[in-house]
């Protein structure tokens, strides 16, 4: 299993540009999450999904959109990039059998200038 994969690893955007951060998992997990990590702030939940076709807002959803058309994919969309969205973005999925372990992707470092 590749686990949770994210693309791209790095990206620089200009203010107002849009982009999609890709996330894919091959573990057949229903639950998937997007977090952002800012210095000294830990991980903040942006959006999460409990299955294909179902998404819900987390703590900091403003400026982002998500979709979940398949179990495997959970893309995060930034429509009008702002400097405040400069961060490291982590996608994760949750195993709901056994010990409910959450698996993280390698992260996407985004800079908005």
**The one among 17, 45, 67, 77 contacting other proteins by CB under 8 A:** 45
Neighbours of 41 (CB within 10 A): 10
CB 24 → other proteins: shortest distance, Å? 14
Q: Does the footprint of other proteins cover residue 113 (CB under 8 A)?
A: no
β-sheet bridge partners, residue 103:
93
Q: Does the footprint of other proteins cover residue 5 (CB under 8 A)?
A: no
Residue 78 in contact with residue 19, Cβ under 8 Å?
yes
> Six-digit token pair at 25?
């998992």
User: What do you get for the CA distance between the two ends of the chain, in Å?
Assistant: 36
**Contacts to other proteins from residues 52-111, by CB under 8 A:** 58-59, 90, 94, 96, 99-107
Task: Note the residues at the interface with other proteins (CB under 8 A).
Answer: 30-31, 33, 35, 40-45, 48, 50, 58-59, 90, 94, 96, 99-107
């Amino acid at each position: 299993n590749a686990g949770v994969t994210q693309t791209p690893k790095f990206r620089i955007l200009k203010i107002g540009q849009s982009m999609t951060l890709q996330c894919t998992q091959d573990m057949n997990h229903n639950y998937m999450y997007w977090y952002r990590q800012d210095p000294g702030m830990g991980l903040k939940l942006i959006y999460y999904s409990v299955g294909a076709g179902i998404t819900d807002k987390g703590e900091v959803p403003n400026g982002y959109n998500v979709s979940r058309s398949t179990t495997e994919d959970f893309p995060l969309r930034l429509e009008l990039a702002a400097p405040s969205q400069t961060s490291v973005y982590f996608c994760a999925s949750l195993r709901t059998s056994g010990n409910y372990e959450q698996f993280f992707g390698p992260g996407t470092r985004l800079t908005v200038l």
